[in-house]
């Protein structure tokens, strides 16, 4: 997480043309809308899966309520971790893409390749 935060801060400080920044912000907003919609769907899907997990572990395998609760909680943690990585990936990519495009205007390959 620390590495990702450092990378985010470094990329965010790089120069970018205003028009390129506007386009990357528009793309990010579109991605954000997608992720929010996807998150709502995953939450509904998780509710169904959670019922199945409870039935399976509590009634078929006869796990204690505490063990079943731990399984359900860690399924939420796993989903939230994956969702966070997707959110970060969308954000860092839209930032880096606009800065890479701006760096390519200089006509030199090394500054352009250093960003991604």
Query: CB within 8 A of 50, min separation 6: which ones?
Result: 72, 75
Least Cα distance to 20 among 112, 105, 91 occurs for 105
* Ordered per-residue pLDDT tens for the chain, 116 residues: 899 999 999 999 999 999 999 999 999 999 999 999 999 999 999 999 999 999 999 999 999 999 999 999 999 999 999 999 999 999 999 999 999 999 999 888 888 888 87
The DSSP output letter for 108 is: -
pTM for the whole structure = 0.83
């Amino acid at each position: 997480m620390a590495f990702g935060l450092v990378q985010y801060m470094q990329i965010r400080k790089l120069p970018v043309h205003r028009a390129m920044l506007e386009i990357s912000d528009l793309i990010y907003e579109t991605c954000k809308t997608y992720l929010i919609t996807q998150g709502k769907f995953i939450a509904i899907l998780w509710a169904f899966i959670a019922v199945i997990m409870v039935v399976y572990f509590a009634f078929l395998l006869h796990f204690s309520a505490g063990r079943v609760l731990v399984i359900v909680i860690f399924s939420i943690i796993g989903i939230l971790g994956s969702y966070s990585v997707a959110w970060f990936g969308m954000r860092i990519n839209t930032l880096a893409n606009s800065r890479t495009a701006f760096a390519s205007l200089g006509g030199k390959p090394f500054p352009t390749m250093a960003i991604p």
